[in-house]
Structure 1
Amino acid sequence: MTFRQKLTFYGRRFRFAVAALLLAVLLALFWLNPHSAFSTEVSVNKSKPSGVPVDVVELKPVDSFARKRNYTGKVTAARVSELAFERSGKLIEIVVDEGDTVQAGMVLARLNTRHLQVIRLKLQAERAAAQAKLDELVAGPRPQTVAVAEAEVRQLNARLKNLQADLDRNQKLLKRNAITSSDYEASQYDVEQQQAQLDAARSRLSELQEGTRKEQVAAQKAVVANLDAALEDNQVDLDDTVLKAPFGGRVSKRYADEGTVISPNAPLFRLVEDQKLEAHIGVPVDMAVHLKHGSQQEVRLNGNNYQSTLKAILPELDPVTRTQEIVLSLSEQAAKQLVPGQVIRIEISEPVEMQGFWLPLSSLARGERGLWSAYAVIAGKEPGEKVLEKRQLEVLHTEDNRVLVRGTLKTGDQIVADGIHKLTGNQRVVIKNRR
């Protein structure tokens, strides 16, 4: 037997053995399950339908939401002053320079005061003289002066009596024609003149005894008060020759050097209160209405958040931006890190009345005619089957990674959350997770 004949012989025996083995297997299957052994139908596991696993979002209606808006403003110092002297003078000393930190009440510069010092010495001398005169008027006349006046009255009274006696004798002599009428009239005139002198002396004595008139004392007091006011005015001028810091801060600019003659109200320093910063931000009028004085607000700059307090809402509308400006007092931490002039932002929540459903942004796909679409999971034709149905949507508002939509949706619908680029309509799916 050749090699080819041997190969043919063994091939036939192998095919026979395989056929016998298959026949034995079929007989065994028929014996165990005669109904399904030769069935051509494919068995389906109805308890676990097949499909693509998806995550879904169950829709819940909303009637309103808080919309966040960002507004931009500027960081400013709480106080900025152009410091100047109130009077003219020669600048003789400058204590601080640009960039220096100063405290409230600290001396910054001085003017020459020689002329004012001379005026003050003159006023002090005049005031001392006026006070001495006032003291004299208040004390009244001395006892010796009163005694001299009393002696003068007695002297004039005695002389008057002597002249009166002469007048009486002359009257008798006139009746006897011993003297002429002119001699009698001369003696009568002497008596009247003496009487007038006596009356004047008595008035002077009475005035001395009563003391100084209150009107004179009042007038002299007014003179002293006027000089006191002049001295106070001089002191104010002296105080104005020293420039002090009205508040704590840093010197931003210096405009003059020593030796310069300063004019009144000419700025010498620019002082910035950098320890207390504010943010001035323009917001719409309808947004400012919802803000409350003293409320805490969070502002943002260069990726960092800072706390602030609403200090004021300015009553006027900006004619350029048509916004209402709000003033925020920044925290101490912000004052240490920020610089006046930087741009700062605030995020404010605005209540909006709008009905719709929230969906994750990943659940949307572009539709037709400017609309959007999403896939809803609905029941299929077979029991337990889940399939996809496309829904047309309108986007009402976008916020971070979610959108507010409306369209062919209803409460309780299950919308595919993500992975929609792999899906198509009427496709079988299996719900994996609910959100």
Structure 2
Amino acid sequence: MNSSKSLSDSLFFEQKMTIRQIVADYLKRFYFVLIAFSIVVLAALLWAFSEVAYSTEITSSDEAQQGIPVNVIELKPVKSFTRKRNYTGKVTAARTSELAFERSGKLIKISVDEGDHVEVGMPLANLSTRHLDVMRLKLQAERAAAQAKLEEFLAGPRRQEIEVAEAEVRQLKAKHKNLDADHIRNQKLLKRNAISKSVFEASESDLQQQKAQLDAAISRLSELKEGTRKEQIAAQKAVVANLDASLADNQVDLDDTVLTAPFSGRISKRYADEGTVISPDMPLFKIVEDQKLEARIGVPVEMAKSLEHGMQKQVQLNGKSYESTLKAILPELDPVTRTQEVVLSLNAKAAQHLVPGQVIRIEIEEPVEMQGFWLPLSALARGERGLWSAYAVINGEADSELILEKRKIEILHTEGDRVLVRGTLKTGDQIVINGTHKLASNQRVVIKSVR
């Protein structure tokens, strides 16, 4: 029994050691294959590098014998050019207003707040109207009384008044007739010394008084029959008109208790709250017409002379362009910047994206009279003492030989990737346009292309 157990154990351990040996054998073979592959790849790379180096040496040798290929530009003279200048300004609202009441009073209602959009004619705030309402009632009562009196004048006296006046005249005539008869009798009696002179004088005085009363009654009757005088009617009409004017003035004061928007825009600031007693010189709101914007930009006086009203110009902000129309050129010079301000009306698209106060830029083309030659920036080479130079292709001593000659130049103007230069250059010269850092004077070259 023990012998069989030991035999099985020996077979188990013998089988386990065999698997390990197999795995180790496979790993050794893989390492050998990997090392062999690496050696082959390294050998291939060394061979390729040697070929490239050999080829480069041959090419360099050929270039040294034939010349370095270069790209050149043939110079053409320039007498004038257009220079683009940038000027900055700011965006402003077409209209900005500080709104205030035209009369004093207590602020009882505010209908809008900062940031609200308002339309033209929209009520913004209200003042108390108590005193004005009472005054209006008083004026309306006085006007009604004056109108009634005017209508009475226009209608004239009633028939009953005329009949009463006629009766009074008849009564006074009868009384006057009796007094006149008594006076005649007294006159006869005085001649016969039947009465005293004082009695006669008393009767004469009564007769005269009665005559005066009769004349006054007859005059009143005549006035009633003729109606009211035109002057009285005119005076009463003036009284009514004066009261109408007072009522109209009262209505204006009532209208002034409501503050309305003079144009469509947005409320920028609010300066008071309900309950504040407002005076006419105290602003309540600041309104900005944000849907119609303008650009105000200062330009030199010489540049302003070249601009015309109605010109279409593009203005830029944050890399975006907006259309604008030249609205005005202000006649005065800014004392600080010494520039003349131009006003441009921005289109509706700009009003949707821009805000008053932003800095905006305009690009204006300026004609410049200056002679020279245009060269690309890549054609410039560093010269002596910080100066600039360029390489010109000229004929060498041998036939068909081309060499380089360094020419000193002066930069007059830079525009994008090109410069306007002058110097020891002439029309038709062929100037190398790139790779100048690899070149030197008297170096042999071959023209690859001509611009």
**Which TM-score band (shorter chain)?**
0.7 to 0.9
Q: Determine whether 1:402 maps to 2:405.
A: no
Q: How much has 1:383 moved relative to structure 2? A: 5.0
Q: Determine whether 1:99 maps to 2:115.
A: yes
- 1:432 aligned residue: 448
- 2:247 aligned residue: 231
What CA distance in whole angstroms lies between the structure 2 residues aligned with 1:157 and 1:263? Answer: 71
- 1:15 aligned residue: none
Deviations 1:91-144 (A, max 9, x none): 332222222222222222222222322222121111111111111122222222
Q: Determine whether 1:309 maps to 2:325.
A: yes
| Counterparts of residues 262-341 of structure 1 (less than 5 Å) | 262-341=278-357
What CA distance in whole angstroms lies between the structure 2 residues aligned with 1:82 and 1:356? Answer: 56
Equivalent of 1:199 in 212, 215, 220: 215
Equivalent of 2:271 in 246, 255, 263: 255
- 1:378 aligned residue: 394
What CA distance in whole angstroms lies between the structure 1 residues aligned with 2:218 and 2:392? Answer: 128
| Counterparts of residues 25-424 of structure 1 (less than 5 Å) | 50-369=66-385, 371-424=387-440
Other structure's SS at 1:87 match: coil
Other structure's SS at 2:384 match: coil
Q: How much has 1:426 moved relative to structure 2? A: 3.3
Q: How much has 1:212 moved relative to structure 2? A: 1.9
Q: Could you say which structure has the higher helix fraction?
A: 2
Other structure's SS at 1:247 match: coil
Other structure's SS at 1:66 match: strand
**Structure 2 letter corresponding to 1:184:** F
Q: How much has 1:369 moved relative to structure 2? A: 4.9
Distance verdict in 2 for CA 1:216–1:432, change over 3 Å: farther
- 1:9 aligned residue: none
Distance verdict in 2 for CA 1:212–1:385, change over 3 Å: farther
Q: How much has 1:86 moved relative to structure 2? A: 2.7
What CA distance in whole angstroms lies between the structure 1 residues aligned with 2:398 and 2:175? Answer: 158
Distance verdict in 2 for CA 1:206–1:428, change over 3 Å: farther
Deviations 1:183-207 (A, max 9, x none): 3333332232222222222222232
- 2:16 aligned residue: none
What CA distance in whole angstroms lies between the structure 2 residues aligned with 1:76 and 1:267? Answer: 21
What CA distance in whole angstroms lies between the structure 2 residues aligned with 1:147 and 1:91? Answer: 62
Other structure's SS at 2:189 match: helix
Structure 1 unaligned blocks of 5 or more: 1-48
Distance verdict in 2 for CA 1:144–1:362, change over 3 Å: same
What CA distance in whole angstroms lies between the structure 2 residues aligned with 1:368 and 1:281? Answer: 42
Q: Report the TM-score when normalising by structure 1.
A: 0.81
**Structure 2 letter corresponding to 1:171:** Q
Deviations 1:306-362 (A, max 9, x none): 111222222222222222222222221111111222111111122222222222222
Distance verdict in 2 for CA 1:202–1:368, change over 3 Å: farther
96-105 or 50-59: bigger deviation: 50-59
Q: How much has 1:50 moved relative to structure 2? A: 4.3
What CA distance in whole angstroms lies between the structure 1 residues aligned with 2:292 and 2:301? Answer: 27
78-87 or 273-282: bigger deviation: 78-87
- 1:32 aligned residue: none
**Structure 2 letter corresponding to 1:136:** E
Q: Report the TM-score when normalising by structure 2.
A: 0.79
Structure 2 unaligned blocks of 5 or more: 1-64
- Percent of pairs identical after alignment? 76
Q: How much has 1:385 moved relative to structure 2? A: 4.3
Other structure's SS at 1:267 match: coil
How many positions carry a matched residue from both structures? 387
Distance verdict in 2 for CA 1:55–1:215, change over 3 Å: farther
Distance verdict in 2 for CA 1:300–1:186, change over 3 Å: same
- 1:22 aligned residue: none
What CA distance in whole angstroms lies between the structure 2 residues aligned with 1:55 and 1:244? Answer: 73
What CA distance in whole angstroms lies between the structure 1 residues aligned with 2:212 and 2:419? Answer: 118
Q: How much has 1:224 moved relative to structure 2? A: 1.5
What CA distance in whole angstroms lies between the structure 2 residues aligned with 1:154 and 1:413? Answer: 136
Other structure's SS at 1:177 match: coil
What CA distance in whole angstroms lies between the structure 2 residues aligned with 1:110 and 1:349? Answer: 53
The CA RMSD over aligned residues, in Å, is 2.4
**Structure 2 letter corresponding to 1:105:** G
73-82 or 182-191: bigger deviation: 182-191
Deviations 1:243-277 (A, max 9, x none): 22222222222333333333333232222222122
Distance verdict in 2 for CA 1:314–1:178, change over 3 Å: same
Q: How much has 1:370 moved relative to structure 2? A: 5.2
Distance verdict in 2 for CA 1:206–1:357, change over 3 Å: farther
